[in-house]
Copies of this chain bind each other. A is one copy, B any other.
Amino acid sequence: MPDHRIHDRAVEHSIRVRYSETDRMGIVYHANYIVWFEIGRTEFCRAAGFPYRAMEERGILILVTGVDCKFRRSAQYDDHVTIRTRMGDTGSRGLSFFYEIVMAADGTLLAEGSTRHLFVDAGKRPIAIPREIRDAFSRFVQPAP
């Protein structure tokens, strides 16, 4: 993703690692970081003024078209971890989010990755990102000087 600009504005949200999220290796099962990414973008959209649930209730769905994640260190049960979410440039129909998962206590990087998304309507046909959503995201990540 070298062609994506990542905006500085980050939304942080912290969670406790659940017992159900661990595996027999004693650490968080890796696919759960991908679930945490989704929590991150839920909170990002809420902070930007467009709660994702409200979007869906208006018939605007955001599909996940790609994901990648690098795992640096392991989180364990009951660890307090922070999901830090940033947004990349929006295209006409899609956008990307970038994530860092860190230990809440000392910021140790646990995992980092990104997701790519496509806006679709209730029938899952691609649509242009609605102007008011695009504008709200733009204002959120590029606050006026």
Chain A residues near B (Cβ < 8 Å) = 16, 18-20, 22-27, 29-32, 34-35, 38-39, 42, 51-53, 56, 61, 63-71, 74, 76-78, 124
Number of copies of this protein chain within its complex: 4
Query: Which chain B residues border A74 with CB–CB below 8 Å?
Result: 124
A122 to chain B, nearest CB (A): 10
B23 touches A31 (CB 8 A): no
A66 touches B69 (CB 8 A): yes
A24 touches B68 (CB 8 A): no
- Can you list 5 A-B pairs, Cβ within 8 angstroms, ordered by A? A16-B42, A18-B42, A19-B24, A31-B34, A65-B71
Q: Which of B24, B65, B66, B77 touches A77 (beta carbons < 8 Å)?
A: B24
B35 touches A20 (CB 8 A): yes
Name the residue among A22, A30, A39, A64 with the largest chain B CB count within 10 angstroms: A30
A114 to chain B, nearest CB (A): 9
B25 touches A23 (CB 8 A): no
Name the residue among A22, A23, A56, A71 with the largest chain B CB count within 10 angstroms: A23
